[in-house]
Amino acid sequence: MELTSLLIYIGIFITLFLLAILISDGDLTLMFAERFGKRLSSVKGQVYWIVGASSGIGEYLAYELVANGAKVVLSGRRENELQKVKAQCLIIGKKSGISEADVLLLPVDVAKLELHQQYFDAVLKHFGTLDVLVNNAGRSQRAEWMNIDIRVDKDMFDGNVFGLLNLSRIVMPHFLQKKRGQIAVTSSVCGKVGAPCSASYNATKHALHGYFETLRAELTTQGISVTMLCPGPVFSDLLSACATDTYGQKLGGAMTKKDRRMSTERCARLCAVAMVNHLDEAWISINPVLLSLYASQYAPSLFRSFNGRLGARVAMTLRDSRNDLVNSCKQDSQQVKSD
């Protein structure tokens, strides 16, 4: 009788656990933090440097932060787009007391390592301090593993990994001197599970986890926190600069309103929740991608066996929600299409 009762309780727990995941758009720790954790208003007066703020998650994260009174540094390569984001930040932040001086526009090319100290000096000159560095810069990819030019791999690592890594090392002495600071890194669900037809991109995101989780382990008693953000499919303009298998080539194209993706606003809010609550890692995605992340972590061999049976075409459709854009990835000698 006792064994029967135990099995019933276990069954109930597993059922509730699965239901909770299915109705969520983030991991359960993140969902708990959103409801019961530290409020976003706690960012008021803090300085956030968002690298990759000209569009997508970085842009909407800036809006979320200024709406709650944070000061922001907006960085990216496209100065015209940054100007638009700054103008919107001033409108949104007006109610929370944000002024022109609280939003610094700082054009940055993270691949130019020799300029990183100069960039950071500009932040300190303007605000006198920095509380949070948000490493959000990077580009995606659609390409078949076998066909990728090695120069594409190197180029992706320069922008997606080495630039962010070096900038973080420039900022770290400031955080250590203050004995307080945070580095947030926009990874991806592809940094947890290798999705098909994005080998270089997947590798850069896995590398970010390796680098920054090591940093976290080394600084557990130094007052510095590291938050890895792992979004799934989110509306953005990533296709315009998306890499292929050919060096210097861009995929182009655009997402449509019919795509099954999380809204950029929702993703940015959950990123902000993860940061203010100093979560080590946050999964942010709609289902079935979110459920697949749990499966890959708790039943890795079973998950990969199932995923392998689906094939690259189905796996990419689940990730990207459509397959009408031709890319260079093939499965069973057929061209796989994706956005």
CATH code of the domain containing 178:
3.40.50.720
pLDDT digits (tens, 9 = 90+) for 162-217: 999 999 999 999 999 999 999 999 999 999 998 888 999 999 999 999 999 999 99
Is 9 contained in some domain?
Answer: no
Is 3 contained in some domain?
Answer: no
Is 13 contained in some domain?
Answer: no
Per the structure, how many domains does the chain have? 1
pLDDT digits (tens, 9 = 90+) for 56-77: 999 999 999 999 999 999 999 9
Residue 1 pLDDT:
54
Distance CA 181, CA 175 (A): 5
Q: What is the pTM of this model?
A: 0.89
Catalytic residue status for 48: no
Helices (H), the chain: 2-22, 28-36, 56-67, 79-92, 116-127, 150-157, 163-178, 199-218, 264-276, 289-298, 300-320
Domain that holds residue 264: 27-337
Is 2 contained in some domain?
Answer: no
- Could you say which of 9, 201, 211, 247 is catalytic? 201
| Residue 317: alpha-carbon gap to chain centroid | 20
One-letter amino acid for residue 125 of the chain: K
Residue 234 · residue 271 · CB < 8 Å = no
Residue 62 · residue 270 · CB < 8 Å = no
Is 10 contained in some domain?
Answer: no
Distance CA 217, CA 232 (A): 25
